[in-house]
Amino acid sequence: MLASLVGFLHDFDKAEEAAQEAFAIAAERWPASGVPPNPGAWLVTTARNRAIDRIRRERTLAGKIHLLPVPEAVMEEIDETSIKDERLELIFTCCHPALPLDGQVALTLRALGGLETAEIARAFLVSEETMKRRLTRAKTKIKATGIPFAVPGAHLLPDRLDAVLAVIYLIFNEGYSGRVDLAAEAISLGRVLATLMPDQPEAHGLLALMMIHHARRQARFSGQDGEDLVLLEDQDRSLWDMPQIAAGRAVLDRAIALGGRGAYVLQAAIAALQTAELIDWPQVAGLYRRLADLTGSAVVELNRAAALAQAGDPAAALRAVDRLDLDGYLYFHSTRGELLRRLGRDAEARAAYGRALELATSTPERRFLTRRLDQL
Amino acid sequence: MQYALMIYAEPGYAEGLPEAEREAVLAEFTALLDDPRCVASAQLQPAETATCVRVAGGRTLMTDGPFADTKEVLGGLFLVEAANLDEVLELAARVPVTRFGGVVEVRPVVTR
């Protein structure tokens, strides 16, 4: 409802006010007159009309022309299908690269996910005051700088869609490290985007990637408080959500059928391969190579090396890893440690795991690395 | 809406360019000046010509040189009239300095 109102009014604050007003009217009328046949559409229409009234009043008071054109009020059209879906425009506004990244994330969750400011604050471990300021700053910049409520033109679309996908994936990854709510939120945003942009393979690729990863969440942690990180090869597959994996694979098929060969499609394909009974590691390594060519990322190279090791060649994997400049990265050292262990070089493996442990910040990571060290 | 495009570049960046490239840069600037959305523009003399003025206790204090001592200096500005930020950002990306390590800062102008 909020998304529809912001998209319609092109103003976040007016939309929130109007939504509150509509709810208040409903609370007053519905007990007496009964709930209308289509409550959602009724609320949106009522809120829109209230907002228009308010804009008209303010204009008369101010006695001057505002930039915002007054939309026409239509009270008769209380039909879900007649309300234009303005969510896509809103997605591009919220994820505009001119906004700071934390503001894009917060605004997307607020306006499109419909989360309360307090909920977003909790999810990102900041105070409600901080989150409120973050949202206000983003909304103010949209208004002051004239960030449009529009889907960018074809020549701008690839870059801008990348920005949208990055925000959704960032939300997903925040949820992946333990706060499951955000991951589910990201998947539902990804689904909205894929539905609204059915021809964009990367939108489907991202959705597939998130679905397949999310389907394995129960198996990624173990122990009494879910404090232990479990590697893919050690995961209890009976904990995987198989229907969601199948659904994710279907979304991936759609992305590939659309000719998708981008970074999210490749990552989803890798994730899908890794759900097979017998994992085709050479193929996984091959996909990582294509992903590395595309992104030039050393972290992707590191993953490729790990796949090479799984394919049976830890020596080649170690050579690939040692070419990388990733000294400050935990998984660089833990991967080296694992490869050295497999090659029987225990002393060096211990040193590498020790370095990884120094860089670990979360409890599951620390416990995992300590266990590995103990096993050596 | 009106926006200011403030152009920051390393001094003398154009001198190091081959002749053909320099001409291309000039042509791109001319094209921007000829754009109907361009309301006004100013190219500034080098930063060495800058003087900063402050008033403290009724006395005017002057210092030689630009206000901010950075590698890139303000070299000029455009005032443009555009429908929204996306339109301006496209114009900003056409300012040739952006290809040579320079930066264009885009700010909306206060309307009265």
Lowest mean pLDDT among A173-182, A250-259, A292-301: A173-182
User: Which 3 state secondary structure label does DSSP give A225?
Assistant: coil
Please say whether the beta carbons of A86 and A134 come within 8 A. no
| pLDDT of residue A242 exceeding 60 | yes
Q: Rg of chain A over CA atoms, in angstroms?
A: 25
| pLDDT of residue B51 exceeding 60 | yes
- What share of residues in chain A are helix, strand, coil (percent, to 5)? 70, 0, 30
Residues of chain A found within 8 Å of residue B88, distances taken between Cβ atoms: 146
pLDDT in tens, A281-300: 999 999 999 999 999 999 99
CB of B111 within 8 Å of a chain A CB? The answer is: no
Confidence at residue A179, expressed as pLDDT on a 0 to 100 scale: 58
DSSP state of A37: S
Lowest mean pLDDT among A11-15, A327-331, B4-8, B30-34: A11-15
What band does B12 get if pLDDT is binned at 50, 70 and 90? confident
| Residue B86 to residue A145, Cβ atoms within 8 A | no
Residues of chain B found within 8 Å of residue A145, distances taken between Cβ atoms: 85, 106-108
A326 burial type by CB count under 10 A (0-12 exposed, 13-18 middle, 19+ buried): middle
Residues of chain B found within 8 Å of residue A148, distances taken between Cβ atoms: 83-86
pLDDT in tens, B28-46: 999 999 999 999 999 999 9
A351 burial type by CB count under 10 A (0-12 exposed, 13-18 middle, 19+ buried): middle
Spans of all domains in chain A: 2-82, 280-376
Q: CA of B89: which chain A residue's CA is closest? A: A98
CB of A146 within 8 Å of a chain B CB? The answer is: yes
Residues of chain B found within 8 Å of residue A150, distances taken between Cβ atoms: 84, 86
Q: CA of A147: which chain B residue's CA is closest? A: B85
Disruptive mutation site among B3, B84, B86, B87 for chain A (greatest number of A CBs within 10 Å): B86
CB of A35 within 8 Å of a chain B CB? The answer is: no
Confidence at residue B1, expressed as pLDDT on a 0 to 100 scale: 94
Per mean pLDDT, which of A30-39, A361-370, B30-39 is the most reliable? B30-39
Distance from CA of A32 to the nearest CA of B (A): 46
* Helix A263-273 with A281-295: angle, nearest 10 deg: 160
Which domains, ranges and CATH numbers included, belong to chain B? 2-108 (3.30.70.1060)
More confident residue, A40 or A137: A137
Distance from CA of B61 to the nearest CA of A (A): 35
| Residue A148 to residue B1, Cβ atoms within 8 A | no
What ipTM does this complex have? Answer: 0.86
Amino acid at site B24: A
Q: What is the mean pLDDT of residues A209-231?
A: 83
Q: Cα separation of A288 and A270, whole Å?
A: 8
Residues of chain B found within 8 Å of residue A96, distances taken between Cβ atoms: 85
Q: How far is CA A90 from CA A3, A6, A16, A187, B48, in A?
A: 7, 7, 14, 17, 46
Tell how far CA A203 is from the center of its chain: 11
CB of B48 within 8 Å of a chain A CB? The answer is: no
Q: Cα separation of A340 and A144, whole Å?
A: 56
- Give the CATH superfamily of A280-376: Tetratricopeptide repeat domain (1.25.40.10)
Written as six digits, the tokens of A83 are: 């309300």
Phi, psi dihedral angles at B77 (to 5 degrees):
-150, 155
| pLDDT of residue A83 exceeding 70 | no
CB of A156 within 8 Å of a chain B CB? The answer is: yes
Confidence at residue A53, expressed as pLDDT on a 0 to 100 scale: 80
| pLDDT of residue A69 exceeding 90 | no
| Residue A152 to residue B86, Cβ atoms within 8 A | yes
Residues of chain B found within 8 Å of residue A65, distances taken between Cβ atoms: none
